[in-house]
Structure 1
Amino acid sequence: MQNSLTRKPIEIKISTVVAVAVILHEASTSALETALKEMTAGTPDFFDDEFAVIDVEPISEQKLDWASLVPLFKSFGLNPVAVRNARAEDHADISAIGLSLDVVSKPRQEIEIPAQAAAVAAPAAAPPAPAPAPQAAGHMPAMVIDTPVRAGQRIYARGADLIITASVNNGAEVIADGSIHIYAPLRGRALAGAMGNTEARIFAMGMEAELVSIAGIYRTFENGPPALAANQPVQIKLIGDSIEVSSVKTTG
């Protein structure tokens, strides 16, 4: 009887969900349907109900019929859950049909060229760059986001730390395999050490988070964030199986 009284009716753990990327090169629904028929060759379980992230970067300037795309993919055994690289003007339509806005980028490597030159693509025939020197133990590259992360957006720094120089708003989610550094208030959800790195940490200039997680251990703040020193940045780390939130004392 004691177990039935103490057992939680629901348990939630943070998990990294694997999804296939569906990269669109055509905006026409009929053209996409024809391509899917050719790809699956009539095999009903070709995709086996896999989650799918729709990447529209190759046709980012074209208008898509979002309402017809979802049932089309579902009819072929793909379950769209998010859209990547969508136009800002399409965000409302995408959210209206129940899809998330996914912002995922390759982690940055160390940059040794001027910022002005970084925007110039290397020629296709350029020789391969020499392999980078081995990284120091524990070092991870960083993905940098310079704009606010808005409600409904999800950013994942795969294999990297995540640095955000603007606010993370309510309803937004930021994820990193390494640590997360937010040089602004954290109001949404932040998940560090997504692939199990228990040494990962979360740093923020202001603590108003809905949920934080490190290596799958999470903590929510239904009753508000913990009482901390005013005007102090915070750090969030894993101590055993518990999430600790503390002020980062600075010297003046």
Structure 2
Amino acid sequence: MTDAPQASDRPAFLLKGTTVSLTALELAYFDEDSFEAALREKIRQAPGFFRDIPIMISLEHYDGPTAELDFFKLLGICRRHNIHVVGVRGGDEDQRRLARHAAIALLPGSSRQERPPSPETRPETDAPAEAELDSPDSGNAPVTPAPARVVSQPVRSGQQVYAPEGDLIILAPVQAGAEVLAAGNIHVYGPLRGRALAGVHGQEEARVFCQSLEAELVSIAGHYKISEDLQERGWKAPVQIQLRDDLLVVTPLDRSPG
């Protein structure tokens, strides 16, 4: 008679922290027909980008009636178009309760909401803060920028390269079908043919630099342009891309010396 097989000492699963870049759908109001028509048009512009994409619904700029916010209908529309809603960000208590009833995860607010006040708006009682940071007795170490991640090999189709804290510097081409992401800026010293997502934690000052713009998609802090839009300016030329007034602006890089 043989002994019964022993249960494995290896755990069935492990929980690990990770960071995933998500596209935010900023909802201004919800009308079933208008929402589906707008979504269908976006998918028509970039069908490959939206196929099976996970998104979060941002309610931070929602100004429609809460009574019209039907998450069950919204989820149904997205599922019909192979888009997967994984969470809701922002919103008031009533709106978040509706999301919870629809079994949608509740995500923390964006980094823009969490930024400290600027020096112009900081209360007068906070005035000594700068002196305290410089004081040797304060115990605060000087803030140093996050190190950049440097990649010297080409980024192949299907690969994803991520710099979760600082800039991403790629000394080779980024091929079509590849994806590069960074908390800060992205520098590509070669053709950029895949997807580039800079400022993935909401850093609107992030930029994308490349020696030849041939990208499928470029995104900065959740604002994006697809290939068809990017071809209007600077296509297959050295450019920088930055965010101005919630719009991505492409400008040429000056190749002249000095």
Report the TM range for the smaller structure's normalisation.
0.3 to 0.5
TM-score (norm 2): 0.46
TM-score (norm 1): 0.47
Which structure carries more relative contact order (alpha carbon 8 Å, separation 6+)? 1
Query: Whose Rg is larger?
Result: 2
